[in-house]
Structure 1
Amino acid sequence: MIDIHCHLLDGIDDGAKTFEESVEMARLAYEDGIRHIIATPHFCSSFMTERTVQLHKIARLQRELDRQGIAVTVSPGSEVRLESAAYVYEHADRNHFFYLDAARRFVLLEQRWCGYSEDTEQVVKWFLEQGTTPIIPHPERHPFFRDNAQLLTNLIALGAWTQVTADSLLGKNGTEAEAFGRWLLKHDHVHTLATDAHNTVRRPNLSDGFRVVAETAGEHRVQQILECMNSIVAVQNRS
């Protein structure tokens, strides 16, 4: 399995606090059946890690995982917050954040927590015009999507994908997030599943999420979601 959204790297956002915790998160991910993790620290006004710092941390972590025989591959990504259209365009132009793949076919595009951004459709269309599919992380956790699902289905109709979090389907993010996550599943509005793991408590648990997918929407939906996720890392050519 592939985890496309994980705050695995230590000391650069609200994810892992120490290098040892990063290693342990990777170990837990391996035990859960995950073999590839895209490390996606927040990229927003509060956290804007330099690319070189992120790559250095990934290289150090990968060396340690290889040394310990933890067969997980880590590659760079970012959880880009849509602070505004201008914010996204500026940092994209300056190559400040990571896409989810080297070919820039996918990007994790997060909503603000204070409310739905009116720039969303504009930015989604802009990415699509560049050949990039925006993936909306954890829409089930945002009250504005739960209150008005058409905001999200409009983005899907444009060509955006969604990423539902395993913890939400397990009820760990509240009953409303669980209910909306399962509604999205039943209506075929879930393209990818991820852990959004931040530490060893909010841990990698993708297998439990897929169990719920199978129970709620059938094994065929599990396979469809896995195919979408595999397509993201089908061509990884990091340099």
Structure 2
Amino acid sequence: MIDIHSHILAGIDDGAKDLEESVEMGRLAHQDGIRYIFATPHFTDTMINDCDTVVRRIGTLQRELDELGIPVRVLPGAEVRLCSYEFVIEYAKRETFSYLVGSRKFVLVEERWTDYESDSLRIMEWFLDREIQPVIAHPERHAFFRKDPALLTALIDAGAWTQVTADSLLGKNNAEAQQFSRWMIERSLVHTLATDAHNVTRRPNLSDGFRMIETWAGLEQVEAIKERMHQFVPPSLTNEHSPSVTA
């Protein structure tokens, strides 16, 4: 499996507190069946985690995982906060934040927790016009999307993808997030699934999330999501990575 949203890098945001916890998160992910983890630290106006920082810290973690025989590949990414249109586009033009796997193909974006960014559609269109696929992180956790689903469906209709979090499906965030996740799944509005893991308590649990999707919508939707997520890992990386990769 592939986890496209994880705060596995230590000491860079509100994720893993140290390298030891990062390694344990990698171990737990592998036990769950995850073989590729995108490290997606927050990229906000108060946390400018640039590409070089992400790549350097991934290198440190990957060496430790390899030495301990934990066959998980950590890949670069970022969770880009939609602080404003100007903020996102300025740093996109500077190429400051990491796209998923470093290529300008997928970008993980996150709404503010306080309110909906009114320029969200404009930002999505900016990326899409450049053939970059925006993926909206955990929309089910934002109260404004639950209150007005049309805000979300307008972004989806424009071409954006969604990323629902496994914990939301399991009811570990709140009942409202679980209910909205199910609403999205039943309408085929869930494009990707991720853990948004932050530590060994808020842990990687992708398999549990897929089981809930199968229960609510059937195996066909599970397979469609997994097939879509395989697009995030280039074939060259799949071929060079020795552990067996399961969907």
The corresponding residue for 2:216 is 216
Cα deviation 1:37-79 (Å, max 9, x = unaligned): 0000000012112322221110111111111110100010000
The corresponding residue for 2:121 is 121
Q: Does 1:100 align with 2:100?
A: yes
Matches within 5 A, 1:195-210: 195-210=195-210
Gaps of 5+ in 2: 238-247
The corresponding residue for 1:153 is 153
Structure 2 CA distance for aligned equivalents of residues 24 and 56 of structure 1: 19
Q: Does 1:48 align with 2:45?
A: no
Aligned partners of 1:138 and 1:162 also within 8 Å: yes
Q: Where has structure 1 moved over 3 Å in runs of 4 or more?
A: none
Q: Does 1:182 align with 2:182?
A: yes
SS across alignment from 1:101: helix
Name the amino acid aligned to 1:173: N
Q: CA deviation at 1:236?
A: 6.2
| TM-score calculated relative to the size of structure 1 | 0.97
Structure 2 CA distance for aligned equivalents of residues 101 and 235 of structure 1: 12
SS across alignment from 2:102: coil
Name the amino acid aligned to 1:30: H
RMSD (Å) for aligned C-alpha atoms: 1.0
Moved more, 53-62 or 31-40: 53-62
Structure 2 CA distance for aligned equivalents of residues 50 and 92 of structure 1: 11
Q: Does 1:24 align with 2:17?
A: no
Aligned partners of 2:76 and 2:102 also within 8 Å: no
Q: CA deviation at 1:103?
A: 2.9
Aligned partners of 1:101 and 1:235 also within 8 Å: no
Matches within 5 A, 1:62-77: 62-77=62-77
* Shift in CA distance, 160/200, structure 1 to aligned 2, threshold 3 Å: same
Q: How many residue pairs end up in the alignment?
A: 237
Structure 2 CA distance for aligned equivalents of residues 178 and 102 of structure 1: 32
Structure 1 CA distance for aligned equivalents of residues 236 and 49 of structure 2: 22
Cα deviation 1:69-121 (Å, max 9, x = unaligned): 10100010000001001001110111110111333111001100111000100
Gaps of 5+ in 1: none
Q: Does 1:33 align with 2:49?
A: no
| TM-score calculated relative to the size of structure 2 | 0.94
